[in-house]
Structure 1
Amino acid sequence: MNKPLVWAIAAALVIAGPLVGVAVRRLVDRLAAKLSSDTRAVHRMTFGLLRDLAVPVCSLGGLTLALALPTGLPFSPRTVHQMLEAALLLAITFSVARLAAEVVTTVARRLTGISGSVSLFGTITRVVVFVLGVLITLDSVGVKITPLLGALGIGALAIALALEGTLANLFAGVHILASKTVNPGDFVKLDTGETGWISDVNWRTTTIQDIPGNFIIVPNRKFAEAILTNYHRPEQDMAVLVEVSTSYGSDLEHVESVTMDVARRVMKELDCGFAGADPRVRFHTFGDSGVEFRVVLRTRHYEDQYLLISEFIKALHRRYREEGIVFPFPTRVLEFAPDSERGSRLLAGLHTP
């Protein structure tokens, strides 16, 4: 067989390898698209590995067949074999790392029962699988990894000391997700004042999206050490307190009845109100201007309390005017002694030694 023909066959094999890989990938995509929605999530991960390996494996296969031909290239067969084996192992490592990260992320989401991101678990899994794959690849090509592991251990210790803060954030992020104190999607408030929904917990920071829509980035270590209020635990609905007062001349029984009626109607009409809950009215203080009491409403979500309070105050103000119930203005009564008594006290003060 003449050399031009051999080179032509070798070139054809090198070109045909990636083309066959692309064809296999498209075939896998079509098979995955025909799956039902109930089994698509499970089979997507199964077909994902085959899809990721299709192009690199077929490309390496075509290159292997091409190098097996008598082309006369000045390469050692052993060296070529080791290079191809290393390339295949690296391709498998990348694909398995991606698959493992997707599996861990899916399992974490199902265990927590939320659809938010748990990217930290996926990142850690991807890094661990990738490091193991690189070590296996080095061992397969004849590199002794025992001294390398020792050097990596010493290097890891030095890196751990240098990156103490970063590693503290990493393990704090793992603790946050593993302890299930919060989950992505929960509405929380920190003792430092930050308030919003948990958007993501990654290897270094926790992202909180506040009510206006801005992102607040909090280091995991500070987030784990903060005094935190989770408004989604144990339930998302919550009590809302509204302070009200009425004059001393008002009939408190009538005030309570009217206030309860307004509170029930507002909670029933608004979507954010918890219609199944019963409001409460509790008188608690004889104030400077009138009798003060507290109205306890209930809302479905923390962020809905502002609309509920606003609508309740407007409705209560309108109803009190109709019923003749008075909101007291701040007043203060001052009593003065008679002029003769006041003058005698002043003189007594002047003659006191």
Structure 2
Amino acid sequence: MNKPVVWAIAAAIAIAGPLIGITLRRLVDRLEAKTSTRTRAMYRMAFGLARDIAVPVCSLVGLMIAVSLPTGLPISPDLVRRILTAAMMLAITFAVSRLAAEVVISITRRITGVAGSVSLFSTITKTIVLVLGLLITLDSVGVKITPLLGALGIGALAIALALEGTLANLFAGVHILASKTVNPGDFVKLDTGEVGWVSDVNWRTTTIQDIPGNYIIVPNRKFAEAILTNYHRPEQDMAITVEVSAAYDSDLDFVEEVTLDVARRVMKELDCGFASADPRVRFHTFGDSGVEFRVVLRTRNYEDQYLLVSEFIKALHRRYRQERIVIPYPMRVLHIQSPTTAALASLDPDLSLTTASEVNADLARRTEP
């Protein structure tokens, strides 16, 4: 067989490899689309692996077959086969690392019930698989990895000393997730004032999304050392209090009855309210303007408390106006004693006089014959 024919066959095989890979990838996409939604989650990772390796593996296999033909290349065919084999192993390693990361994330979400992204586990898994794949690839092409492992050990020690802060954040992130004191999706508040949902925990930082939607980036080490309030543990619902006051001449039993009725109705009507919870009213202070008491409501989420409190205050204000329950203005009553009243009071302690007019009337009565 003459060389032009051999070169044509080799070129056709080299071109056919990627085309076959693209065809297989499209076939995998169609099979995934036809899979039912119930079983799609089970086969998603397998389809992803097949999709990742289809094109590179078919392309490299086509090149290996083409190189094995007697084309008369000036380069050693054995060297080319080694390079292509290493490239194929690296391509498979990248695909397997992605699959391993997805498996770890899926298991973690299933165990912890976390719906958010946990990129720390994904990063660690990918790194381990890539390092192992690289070592296996080097060994397969004839590179002795034993001295390399020794050099890597010494280099790892030097890197650990140089990247002390980075490694501290890495292990702090592992500790945050392993301790299960906080998971992505939890609403937390740090002692430094940061408030929001834990969005992600990666190898260096913890991302918190606050209520306005901005991202707060906190180093894992500081996050692990902070005094933290987790509003999703042990239960996601929480109690909130609203301070109210009523006038001193109000019937407190009636005030309590009306307030509880309004609280129950608002908590039942709003989706953010905890309808099965029973609100409470607790009187606690004789204030300057009236009797002060505390209304305890319950909400499903921390961020829903603002809507619940707002609707409760509006409904309570309307109901108090209908029932003629007075919410007192801040005021003080001053009793001023005149000098004449003070003098008479010193002479007659039993005399109950509060105004100058009463003093004059009493003096007139005393001077009558």
Q: TM-score, normalised by structure 2?
A: 0.88
Compute the displacement of 1:212 (Å).
Answer: 1.2
Partner of 2:220: 220
The CA deviation at 1:4 is 1.2
* Aligned equivalents of 2:95, 2:219: Cα separation in 1: 31
Aligned residue type for 2:268: K
Structure 2 runs not aligned, ≥5 long: 344-369
Residues 110-189 of structure 1: pairs in structure 2 closer than 5 A: 110-189=110-189
Distance of 1:23 and 1:311 partners within structure 2 = 59
1:322 Cα offset (Å): 2.3
Work out the CA distance in 1 between the residues paired with 2:111 and 2:169: 23
- Rounded Cα–Cα distance in structure 2 between residues aligned with 1:111 and 1:149: 35
Gaps of 5+ in 1: 344-353
The one-character-per-residue Cα deviations of 1:162-190 (angstroms, maximum 9, x if unpaired) are: 21111111111122222222222221111
In structure 1, the partner of 2:69 is 69
Question: Is residue 95 of structure 1 aligned with residue 95 of structure 2?
Answer: yes
3-state secondary structure, aligned to 1:41: helix
Cα deviation for residue 262 of structure 1 reads 1.4
Counterpart code for 1:178: A
Q: Which residue of 1 aligns with 2:39?
A: 39
User: SS at the partner of 1:327?
Assistant: coil
1:108-165 per-position Cα deviation (integer Å, ceiling 9, x unaligned)? 1111213211121111101110011111111111211112111111111111122111
- Matched residues in 1 for 2:37 and 2:321: separation? 58
Separation of aligned partners in 2, 1:324 and 1:276: 29
Q: How does 1:185-204 map to 2 (within 5 A)?
A: 185-204=185-204
Aligned-partner residue type, residue 247 of structure 2: S
CA distance in 2 between counterparts of 1:255 and 1:33 reads 62
Between the aligned partners of 1:65 and 1:269, the Cα distance in structure 2 is 71
SS in 2 for 1:39: helix
Q: Which moved more, 1:30-39 or 1:301-310?
A: 30-39
Alignment of 1:188-267 (within 5 A): 188-267=188-267
Describe the SS at the equivalent of 2:36. coil
Displacement, 1:340? 8.0
- Which residue in 2 is equivalent to 1:348? none
* Mapping 1:294-313, distance limit 5 Å: 294-313=294-313
The DSSP-based 3-state class of the residue aligned with 1:272 is coil
Instruction: Report what 1:58 is aligned to.
Output: 58
| Residue range with higher mean Cα deviation, 23-32 or 252-261 | 23-32
Give the number of the structure whose alpha-carbon radius of gyration is greater: 2
- Offset of 1:328 from its aligned partner? 2.3
Counterpart position of 1:346? none
SS in structure 2 at match of 1:157: helix
Residue 279 (structure 2) aligns with: 279
Deviation of 1:243 (Å): 0.8
- Equivalent-residue separation in structure 1 for 2:56 and 2:308 (angstroms): 59
* SS across alignment from 1:38: helix
- Deviation, structure 1 residue 51: 2.4
Matched-pair identity in %: 78
| Residue 334 of structure 1, CA deviation | 4.6
Q: Which amino acid aligns with 1:3?
A: K
> Aligned letter for 1:104?
V
SS at the partner of 1:244? strand
Q: CA deviation at 1:294?
A: 0.5
CA distance in 2, matches of 1:319, 1:32: 58
Task: State the AA in 2 paired with 1:14.
Answer: A
Matches within 5 A, 1:265-344: 265-334=265-334, 339=339
Shift of 1:74: 2.0
Could you tell me which residue of structure 1 aligns to residue 356 of structure 2? none
Cα deviation for residue 93 of structure 1 reads 0.8
Q: Please give the alpha-carbon distance, in whole angstroms, between the structure 1 residues aligned to 2:50 and 2:317.
A: 68
What is the alpha-carbon root mean square deviation over aligned residues? 2.0
Residue in structure 2 matched with residue 351 of structure 1 by the alignment: none
